[in-house]
Amino acid sequence: MGGLSAERGVSLRSGRNVYQALKARGYNARKLEISSPDELIPKLAEVDLIFICLHGGWGEDGTVQALLDVLGKPYTGSEALASRLALDKLLAKETFVKAGLPTPPYFHPELEGEGWPAMALKEAERLGYPVVVKPRREGSSLGVRIVQGQGELEGALRETKEEFGDLYIEGFIPGKEVTSGILRVEGEDRPLPLIELRPKEGFYNYRAKYIPGATEFIIPAELGPETTQRAQELALAAHRALGCFGFSRVDLRVTEAGEVYILEVNTIPGMTATSDLPKAAAAAGISFEDLVEYMLKTVIKEKDKEKGGGRCPESRPGPSGSRPRRSASSSHWPMRPSGPERGSTT
């Protein structure tokens, strides 16, 4: 936990919560607060498994995951490639388009040369206002701006470029903001109950996500049964298209007509008191401690099957998934995870 990204504070809160849950369940857990991937190496000698609570930057873009793969240390969540695809919002959107999944129209401006602002303004006109300016590689809605007209756009682009570097412009989809947690249980990816997010001010930005009382959470989301099923199916499809493993959180927009659009996938969802994934799990009858143990047990079972020879159904998939499709049912959740003996976790 920790890191140096703008989401460091969220990471520390997530890590502390996960640590307390592991200790409560009898695991020999340790907290590792790091500021660079290299700090991990000397600390891993006596560690059996890593529970990653890093958010943003090299903690979530596949860097730490690739390092742990090289070192042969198992870890929770998606592998390096899926992590990279998900955090890079442009690569994720390209993957969704190739997979035939609905995502808002977008434009990636070249940020070099004197003419790029004019080209960006032209493309924004094509998309139609309002538009959304987003950093390419940030989480927690950091730097996201909804721009109502041309007069605001150039300033928003320059400020986002200066603070975050690369960016893209996305068409704004009016409607409800909905998020879908995905959790792997007994070898099957399952959607948790949908959450409708109603910020009390503006949109679901960083403040709305992490300031208690800033957002009203409607669980389950107030959607019709057909739209709910469609949203859960698309969330699963997005999770699989990127090759995610174990768990994720998929952000969606749902129009009044019931059209569902995939915004992005978060491979390391927050585990704070205000985070969406624990709230969705609670709505499914899964306590925070059980959620943490589900996230952990999937990796332990995979590790044990590998020791027995060959990969098993728990094996981590690649992008665009070659796994059999399953229905998006969130019913019949097991109430307590089961698995092998508890070892050393950090």
Which pLDDT score, from 0 to 100, does residue 345 have? 59
Coil, strand or helix at 86 = helix
Which pLDDT score, from 0 to 100, does residue 341 have? 42
Which pLDDT score, from 0 to 100, does residue 327 have? 39
User: Which residues belong to the active site?
Assistant: 7, 140, 210, 249, 251, 264, 266, 270
| Distance in angstroms (rounded) separating the CA atoms of residues 86 and 49 | 23
Q: Which CATH number fits domain 105-171: 1.10.340.30, 3.60.10.10, 3.50.50.60, 3.30.1490.20?
A: 3.30.1490.20
| Distance in angstroms (rounded) separating the CA atoms of residues 60 and 24 | 26
Q: Report residue 30 as tokens.
A: 């340790």
Q: Which residue has the tokens 């199916």?
A: 233
- The architecture that CATH gives domain 176-336 is 2-Layer Sandwich (3.30)
pTM of the model: 0.85
Which pLDDT score, from 0 to 100, does residue 225 have? 96
Q: Give strand ranges (E) for the chain.
A: 28-29, 106-107, 131-135, 145-147, 167-171, 176-185, 188-191, 195-199, 215-218, 247-254, 260-266, 344-345
- The architecture that CATH gives domain 8-77 is 3-Layer(aba) Sandwich (3.40)
Which pLDDT score, from 0 to 100, does residue 317 have? 60
CA distances to 3, 215, 288, 311 from 319, rounded to whole Å, are 26, 33, 29, 17
Which pLDDT score, from 0 to 100, does residue 101 have? 98
Residues of the chain with pLDDT under 70: 113, 139-141, 201-214, 301-346
Neighbours of 309 (CB within 10 A): 7
Residue ranges of the domains in the chain? 8-77, 105-171, 176-336
105-112 long-range CB contacts below 8 Å, 24 or more apart? 105/170, 105/171, 106/168, 106/169, 106/170, 106/171, 107/168, 107/169, 108/136, 108/168, 108/169, 109/157, 109/167, 109/168, 109/169, 111/161, 111/166, 111/167
Contacts of 247 (CB under 8 A, 6+ apart): 76, 77, 181, 182, 183, 184, 269, 277, 294, 295
